[in-house]
């Protein structure tokens, strides 16, 4: 099979997984709250465990992907989500639920805007796609991946109209299909990599100084990005239910619209970054998304009429998700372009870990903040952290013109 066919299968795998993740992202927190009657604190622990496990496994399996091949490790990591859904279907035992959270990375899929529906599988998918693309088409391929993933996640959100059990069963089938369609994909890099590299160590000794520099810069931006996301995104479905009394099915509709909007705007990524450059794109889009996000907990103070409040909340949510994800394809393409081929899974996994480990800590603390402090507190903290994130991008990167358009490089 040629690279175009392999790219299609990888995208199809992501679509199946994203439909499942879209459904789980809306319903899992509601299921824990309404059916199992867990407090926000315990739900925060659940999401926090998932958010902690995902980056640790991303770091570990990302390194293994460079050593033993992306496809082999991708197949292993794609198995985790079906196993976690089985646990949700079969038990309400809290320690086992925490195991499900760890396997499924549920804390990273709390909102379609997080960009994390790939969870632990994302680094291998990103690296595998990078091996099958070049600098000319990589940003467009990642944009199409975000488009397909976003639309699929939006469709998954509509599964919230079904019963919790029915939604979980469909998510189980789709996440299993995500694994199956990867089987025909060829990993040319992985066919001889085990013989070509020393994989006995998981330190950075095998990385070039250039790759280590890329890792350090993306780790710094990833930490602040992760904290800002972890404080609020896993709880957004619950915010709509508790703050605005929106029924489960209607919450699914809201996230469906958000997923559609986020997916479509990702097509504009090559155009926007081509005109503005990577840094200015980050500054503009994340400033707008942060402003919309911080207003959400205050929406019920805008009017005493619930329908009006809901319209305002919907508009703010749509603005948030659209401008949140628009820069993600360019970020992925930039990262893959700046590192050597033999380090792509490692760098992607390290970036994932740097983003999601702080996100997990933020999620753990955010649940307690909502229970014991005012609802706007985590949103206001997220505002400060996102401002730091924007500053770091302007500090670490600059845009230069090349014969291939606008490309971002590291400031030496």
Half-sphere exposure of 359 (CA within 13 A, CB side): 37
243 part of a folded domain: yes
**What pLDDT, on a 0 to 100 scale, did the predictor assign at position 296?**
84
Separation between Cα atoms, residue 357 and residue 120, nearest integer Å: 12
* Band of pLDDT at residue 166, cut at 50, 70 and 90: very high
Q: Does the pLDDT value for residue 332 go beyond 90?
A: no
345 part of a folded domain: yes
Separation between Cα atoms, residue 79 and residue 11, nearest integer Å: 17
* Band of pLDDT at residue 399, cut at 50, 70 and 90: low
Q: For residues 161 and 338, which has the higher predicted lDDT (pLDDT)?
A: 161
The CA distances from residue 291 to 317, 377, 379, in Å, are 11, 15, 10
Give me the long-range contacts of 211-217 (CB less than 8 A, separation at least 24). 211/339, 211/340, 211/343, 211/346, 211/347, 213/410, 214/335, 214/338, 214/339, 214/347, 214/410, 215/347, 215/350, 215/351, 217/396, 217/397, 217/410
200 part of a folded domain: no
HEC string of 358-402 equals HHHHHHHHHHHHHHHCCCHHHHHHHHHHHHHHHHHHHHHEEEEEE
Backbone conformation region of residue 247, classed left if phi is above 0, alpha if psi is from -120 to 50, else beta = beta
- Please, what is the average pLDDT of the chain? 77
**What pLDDT, on a 0 to 100 scale, did the predictor assign at position 16?**
92
Average pLDDT of span 159-187? 90
pTM of the predicted protein model: 0.66
Q: For residues 176 and 131, which has the higher predicted lDDT (pLDDT)?
A: 176
**What pLDDT, on a 0 to 100 scale, did the predictor assign at position 113?**
40
Q: What is the pLDDT of residues 16-74, one digit of tens each?
A: 998 998 888 888 888 998 899 988 788 888 887 887 787 777 777 767 777 777 788 88
Residue with tokens 């709250």: 33
189 part of a folded domain: no
349 part of a folded domain: yes
Separation of CA 72 from chain center: 22
Q: Does the pLDDT value for residue 210 go beyond 80?
A: no
Average pLDDT of span 382-395? 87
191 part of a folded domain: no
What domain range is 251 assigned to? Answer: 3-184+209-410
Q: Does the pLDDT value for residue 169 go beyond 90?
A: yes
193 part of a folded domain: no
Rg over alpha carbons for the chain, rounded to the nearest Å, is 20
Separation between Cα atoms, residue 256 and residue 114, nearest integer Å: 14
**What pLDDT, on a 0 to 100 scale, did the predictor assign at position 196?**
45
Q: What is the CATH number of the domain that holds 224?
A: 1.20.1250.20
* Band of pLDDT at residue 269, cut at 50, 70 and 90: confident
Q: Does the pLDDT value for residue 205 go beyond 50?
A: no
Q: What is the pLDDT of residues 91-107, one digit of tens each?
A: 999 999 999 988 887 76
Q: For residues 314 and 97, which has the higher predicted lDDT (pLDDT)?
A: 97
* Band of pLDDT at residue 195, cut at 50, 70 and 90: very low
Residue with tokens 């372009």: 337
Separation between Cα atoms, residue 42 and residue 93, nearest integer Å: 13
Q: Where are the beta strands (DSSP E) in 88-141?
A: none
Separation between Cα atoms, residue 314 and residue 44, nearest integer Å: 24
Separation between Cα atoms, residue 163 and residue 172, nearest integer Å: 14
Separation between Cα atoms, residue 248 and residue 66, nearest integer Å: 42
Q: Which two tokens stand for residue 72?
A: 């082999």
Characterize the bridge pairing of strands 405-410 and 397-402: antiparallel
**What pLDDT, on a 0 to 100 scale, did the predictor assign at position 155?**
85
Number of structural domains the chain divides into: 1
92 part of a folded domain: yes
């Amino acid at each position: 099979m040629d690279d175009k066919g392999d790219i299609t299968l990888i995208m199809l795998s992501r679509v199946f997984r994203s439909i499942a993740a879209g459904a789980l992202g809306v319903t899992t927190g509601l299921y824990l709250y309404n059916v199992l009657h867990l407090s926000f604190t315990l739900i925060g622990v659940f999401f926090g465990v998932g958010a902690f496990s995902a980056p640790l496994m991303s770091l570990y399996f990302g390194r293994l992907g460079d050593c033993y091949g992306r496809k082999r490790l991708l197949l292993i990591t794609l198995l985790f989500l079906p196993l976690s859904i089985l646990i949700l279907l079969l038990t309400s035992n809290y320690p086992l639920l925490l195991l499900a959270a760890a396997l499924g990375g549920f804390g990273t899929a709390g909102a379609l805007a997080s960009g994390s529906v790939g969870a632990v599988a994302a680094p291998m998918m990103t690296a595998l796609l990078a091996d099958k693309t070049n600098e000319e088409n990589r940003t467009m391929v990642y944009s199409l991946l975000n488009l397909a993933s976003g639309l699929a996640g939006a469709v998954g959100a509509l599964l919230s109209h079904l019963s919790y059990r029915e939604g979980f069963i469909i998510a189980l089938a789709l996440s299993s299909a995500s694994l199956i369609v990867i089987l025909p994909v060829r990993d040319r890099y992985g066919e001889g990599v085990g013989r070509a590299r020393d994989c006995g160590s998981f330190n950075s000794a095998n990385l070039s100084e250039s790759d280590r520099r890329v890792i350090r810069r993306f780790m710094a931006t990833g930490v602040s990005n992760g904290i800002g996301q972890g404080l609020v995104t896993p709880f957004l479905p619950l915010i709509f239910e508790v703050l605005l009394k929106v029924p489960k099915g209607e919450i699914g509709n809201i996230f469906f619209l958000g997923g559609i909007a986020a997916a479509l705007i990702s097509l504009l990524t090559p155009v926007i970054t081509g005109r503005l450059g990577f840094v200015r794109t980050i500054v503009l889009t994340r400033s707008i998304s942060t402003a919309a996000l911080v207003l959400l907990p205050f929406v019920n103070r805008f009017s005493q009429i619930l329908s009006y409040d809901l319209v305002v909340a919907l508009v703010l949510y749509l603005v948030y998700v659209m401008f949140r994800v628009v820069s993600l394809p360019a970020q992925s393409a930039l990262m893959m372009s700046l590192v050597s081929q033999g380090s792509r899974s490692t760098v992607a996994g390290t970036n994932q870990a740097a983003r999601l480990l702080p996100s997990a800590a933020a999620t753990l603390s955010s649940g307690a903040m909502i229970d014991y402090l005012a609802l706007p507190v985590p949103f206001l903290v997220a505002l400060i952290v996102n401002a730091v994130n924007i500053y770091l991008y302007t500090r670490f990167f600059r845009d230069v013109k090349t014969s291939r358009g606008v490309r971002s490089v590291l400031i030496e």
